[in-house]
Amino acid sequence: MGEVIVKLSEVDTIYEGEHLPAIKGINLEIRQGEMVSIVGPNGSGKTTLLETVNGLLKVSRGEVRVFNVDMSRDPMRARKNIGYVPQDFISDHSVPFLAQDVVLMGRYGKLGLLQNPRKVDFEIAKEAMRLVGVEEFAHRPIGKLSGGEQQKVMIARTIAQEPKLLLLDEPFSNLDIDSRKEISEKICRLHEENNWTTIVVTHDLFSIPKRCNRVLVMDRGKIVAEEDPESVMCSVKSLTGFYRGLRQ
Amino acid sequence: MIPLPLQIILTAITASILAGITCSLIGVFVVHMKLSSIGFCMSHAAFAGAALGLLLAVDPLLSALLFSTLVAFILGPISEKARLSPGVIIGIMFSLTIGLGFIFLNFAPGVAATQQALSILWGSIFSVTFDDLILLGLLTFFIVFLLTLFFKEFQALMFSRKLAEASGINTSVFYFLILFLAGVTVAFSLKLVGGLLVFALIVNPASSALQFIYDLKKVLVASPIIGAITCLLGFLLSLLLDFPVGSSIIIVSSFIFGLSVVLSPKRRRG
């Protein structure tokens, strides 16, 4: 494995108006080329952890470094190389954006100020749409697509960004079983081909990509266990029981 | 109807078209980002500014413009610092500026002062001068220029501020810029249609365009065209029927919006 891409040291994140941290005392290192899945029951802090990594949420204690950049000081520099697919992002049916616009927007952070998308950016966006299988929706309004189609567009948008670190928050939640398998395999292939570092958050243990190196189990804002994917998949039944046990 | 010199009519028509273009262009962002109460807020900021001008014995229109520009400038940073939605801050500023306006008026000399400050809220298109026209033209150019220059940032911001931020765009700057431009547009259009009616000029044409079009670039072209046509038709209606210009423009824009809702393909099933 390569250099450390994501490093969290004793990180607490508290939401505004709350007293208790949503995640607390998180220590985590993820190296280049690793694919890490974060699992846990609802409200265990998985999304908070992901949004703390890309600096969308400010830490109340500790330090987050991504590409060796302190995310509380200069998040913009690192974010150009961080692809992020948010949880359950659904557009209103009347929004004035076509699917191809949304995918092209993945390129905007990299382009910088006063730079308009060039031919190469349109081509990259088109290729990302082709990879995810949404090229036929290119000219359709994003809000008119189904939840699953929108989720694919969001994944295409992130691929078009050509990130070095990929943060996926429940990326398959709206997809049917066949699409879930297909997209998961494509992401794994791109991950390997491009030497990406990937973090996949999911509550569904069957959505853990096969290629994944580590599985972190979260509960009540803490990382409570680290497993290897094979043992998780072999003991899904007991891990589901484990979720229930954590809550009781 | 009292016959008016052709030059005044032409100046007024040009001003109304320019205001229609500017307001409905910025209106696309205001409507999509649900900031429409900014119209009320800025018009009352202008009222407070005019009252302050009367109190300090300076040109009330100039002080109205300066005061509302100042409010437009601080809206975004305040909402960001206070971690409150812009809607809440706009509501607070709206009530604060009314309060300040009446306090200023209380100390301004003469009863006529009240009338003069209140006239800011109603506007008068026939009092538009050539200098006002130049100013309005410059504002229109400035807004078109900024929207062209930073189109991709505004587009990303409109789609999702969170995603734009996550992909490395400094959204605060562009968010403040939209609030500022909306505020300044209202302030500059006050003299034309008045503070209370400028609101409809911002909301109606943009809302009408959004009923038909799914492509932001096309919305940004269609909205000012609808705005300009609305103002022209409203103006002609007012000349024909001797209605107040502002009210005529609002009637036409509301009619166009109603028609758009009825004909909107976005509202059809399937």
Total Cβ atoms within 10 A of residue A229: 19
Contact B201, B227 (CB under 8 A): yes
Is A8 within a domain?
A: yes
Measured distance CA(B188)–CA(B198) in Å, rounded? 10
pLDDT score at B183: 80
Q: Which residue of B has its CA nearest to A76?
A: B168
Binary contact (A117, B266; C-beta < 8 A)? no
Measured distance CA(A159)–CA(B167) in Å, rounded? 12
**Which positions in chain A touch B80 (Cβ < 8 Å)?**
none
Domain that holds residue A58: 1-81+208-248
Q: Mapping DSSP to helix (H, G, I), strand (E, B) and coil, where does residue B108 land? A: coil
* pLDDT tier for residue B1 given thresholds of 50, 70 and 90: low
Side chain identity, residue A33: G
Instruction: Report the relative pairing of strands A69-70 and A214-219 from DSSP bridges.
Output: unpaired
Q: Average model confidence (pLDDT) for chain B?
A: 85
CATH of domain B6-263: 1.10.3470.10
**H-run or E-run covering A6:** strand A4-13
Alpha-carbon dihedral B166, B207, B136, B173, rounded to 10 degrees? -10
Is A154 within a domain?
A: no
How confident is the model over A19-53, as pLDDT tens digits? 888 999 999 999 999 999 999 888 889 999 999 99
Q: Number of A to B CB contacts under 8 A, please give it.
A: 81
Q: What is the ipTM of this complex?
A: 0.87
Is A35 within a domain?
A: yes
| Sheet with A4-13, edge to edge strand ranges | A23-31, A4-13, A61-66, A69-70
Instruction: Please write down the HEC assignment for all residues of A33-63.
Output: CCEEEEECCCCCCHHHHHHHHCCCCCCCEEE
Nearest to B71 by CA among B55, B86, B54, B56: B86
Q: Mapping DSSP to helix (H, G, I), strand (E, B) and coil, where does residue A183 land? A: helix
Side chain identity, residue B158: M
Is A164 within a domain?
A: no
Side chain identity, residue A19: H
Is A228 within a domain?
A: yes
Measured distance CA(A203)–CA(A147) in Å, rounded? 18
Q: Is the pLDDT of residue A10 over 80?
A: yes
How confident is the model over A88-139, as pLDDT tens digits? 777 777 788 999 999 999 999 888 888 889 999 999 999 999 999 999 999 9
The number of folded domains in chain A is 1
Please, which residues have CB within 8 angstroms of residue B51's CB and are 6 or more apart in sequence?
B60, B100, B101, B102, B104, B105, B108, B113, B117
Binary contact (B210, A96; C-beta < 8 A)? yes
User: What does the block give as tokens for B114?
Assistant: 């009240």
Binary contact (B156, A105; C-beta < 8 A)? yes
Provide the terminal-to-terminal Cα distance of chain B, rounded to the nearest Å. Answer: 51
pLDDT score at A199: 95
Name the range with the highest mean pLDDT among A21-35, B6-20, B72-86.
A21-35
Is A20 within a domain?
A: yes
With 0-12 / 13-18 / 19 or more C-beta atoms within 10 angstroms meaning exposed / middle / buried, residue A202 is: buried
| A231: CATH | 3.40.50.300
Q: Within an 8 Å CB–CB cutoff, is residue B146 touching chain A?
A: no
Please, which residues have CB within 8 angstroms of residue A35's CB and are 6 or more apart in sequence?
A188, A191, A197, A198, A199, A200, A209, A211, A212, A213
**Best residue in B29, B146, B152 for a mutation probing chain A (most A CBs within 10 Å):** B152
Question: What is the secondary structure of A125-173 as a DSSP string?
Answer: HHHHHHHHT-GGGTTSBGGGS-HHHHHHHHHHHHHHT--SEEEEESTTT
Rounded to the nearest angstrom, the minimum Cα separation between B25 and chain A is 14
Measured distance CA(B191)–CA(B23) in Å, rounded? 13
Total Cβ atoms within 10 A of residue B139: 21
Strands (E), chain B: none
User: What does the block give as tokens for B41?
Assistant: 């807020």
Binary contact (A113, B153; C-beta < 8 A)? yes
pLDDT score at B4: 67
Nearest to A94 among B152, B165, B210 (CB): B210
Side chain identity, residue B69: T
Binary contact (B32, A95; C-beta < 8 A)? yes
Is A176 within a domain?
A: no
